[in-house]
Amino acid sequence: MSGAAGGMRFGANYTPSEGWFHSWYDLDLDAVARDMGSLAALGLDHVRIFPLWETLQPNRTLIRDRAVADVVSVVDVAHEHGLGTSVDVLQGHLSSFDFLPSWVLSWHRRNIFADEAVVEAQERLVTALGSALTGRPGFLGLTLGNETNQFGKAIHPDRQALGPQVAGRWLERLLTAAHDCAPGRVHSHSFDDDVWFVDSSGVTPEHAAGIGDVTTVHSWVFTGVARHFPPDHPAHTWFARYLLELAAAWGGPDRPLWLQEVGAPVPHLGADRVPDFARETLRRAVARPGLWGVTWWCSHDVDRSLADFPELEYSLGLLAADRSVKPLGAAVRDVLPELRELATRTPAPAAEVWELPTDDAGRVVRSASAPGSPLFAAWVEAAEAGTPPRFALPAGAVSLVTCAAGAGTTAATVGATA
């Protein structure tokens, strides 16, 4: 699995400048072309796109040919501008909004991870999209959806029960379908950092690092770092690298890593810190061996005419909603040559290798590595002092998963080290 022209990839998660993701209801390819041109002008080489599940499959037994054709058209337009495209399938969840189709809600409510009729329908959608895209030169691969694990969180207002056994079966089945219909592409699943830090998360590090072609990492400082450290603390710019080190410990030295989301939330950092945050975060991330690529969140700001978004969502773009280059976009554009050069260097050996903490039964307790833990603080201090430590799993260690959904406690043996 290689990056752009054999090197590391740098891209953006594509948030359409006109109409946000609602633009999938009435796609304007001219607007898409203008957006893709504005991203190519920054020196990026790929995008990740998010067609809405409800537009693709409005009924369990209906996949709209027109909607699938729209996805293919966007991939082709991106390719015309020199951009490869990774395509998410089950959208799912985006920027605090959920887009589940009506046939799994209210009177038709059923579990999107466990109901056989639902999973069979999802499998058909994965196959339909993958089959339509597999011959397109700009198509990079499929991601099942955006942070699909969030539907299984206890805090979700319409929670779907999700234990580790169910999660494993669901991920394996849908990613097998992706490989069957679109062989040779990079197929993955995505999740937030609960997978690394929350012991009750039904999606586990074993799922993250053992299913699909690459381990994806979503780095958001507002999920924990910002609660424990002031905005000018180096913990913010080391966080993405820290997550990559955790992912590498679970996946082993040969497992590729994809920093699939990383962004600079203005309310937590302050607008004046955003450009430096981007530069330093990216420099530290690309020095991690095994990184397939980085995909910034996001391409274009959410237009202020759209209501009810969390405040941070309106300012995450590299570009403004009018496609003008923001200071953030200029910082990323200008540092890309340096990053591409850094990515070709032989990495320095780790100064130290730290084992992840376990309990008395030899189980890795994920919460012990979360922001706010002594381990995280010590790692940041060591990284600031020199080469960032690597992580390893103790031989024979298992991960601790407490499943509130009723699946009991699962302990899966792991032994990979990075």
Cite the beta strand spans of 30-107 per DSSP E.
Answer: 46-49, 84-88, 93-94, 97-98
CA distance 53 to 89: 7
CA distance 302 to 312: 10
Domains of the chain from N-terminus onward? 4-353 (3.20.20.80)
In DSSP terms, 94 is beta-bridged to 97
pLDDT reported for residue 405: 32
CA distance 161 to 193: 19
pLDDT reported for residue 416: 35
CA distance 81 to 94: 25
**Contact by Cβ (8 Å): 202, 154:** no
Instruction: Give the other-Cβ count within 10 Å of 225's Cβ.
Output: 25
Tokens 């903490």, located at residue = 357
Average pLDDT by consecutive 10-residue portion of the chain (418 residues)?
A: 66 98 98 98 98 98 98 98 98 94 96 98 98 97 97 92 96 98 98 96 95 98 97 98 97 95 98 98 96 98 97 97 98 97 82 90 91 98 94 78 34 35
CA distance 398 to 82: 44
pLDDT reported for residue 395: 82
**Contact by Cβ (8 Å): 212, 187:** yes
Total-model pTM: 0.94
- C-alpha distances in Å from residue 132, one per residue of 29, 118, 139, 142: 18, 21, 10, 12
Cite the beta strand spans of 175-282 per DSSP E.
Answer: 215-219, 257-262
- C-alpha distances in Å from residue 35, one per residue of 12, 16, 204, 291: 11, 7, 36, 26
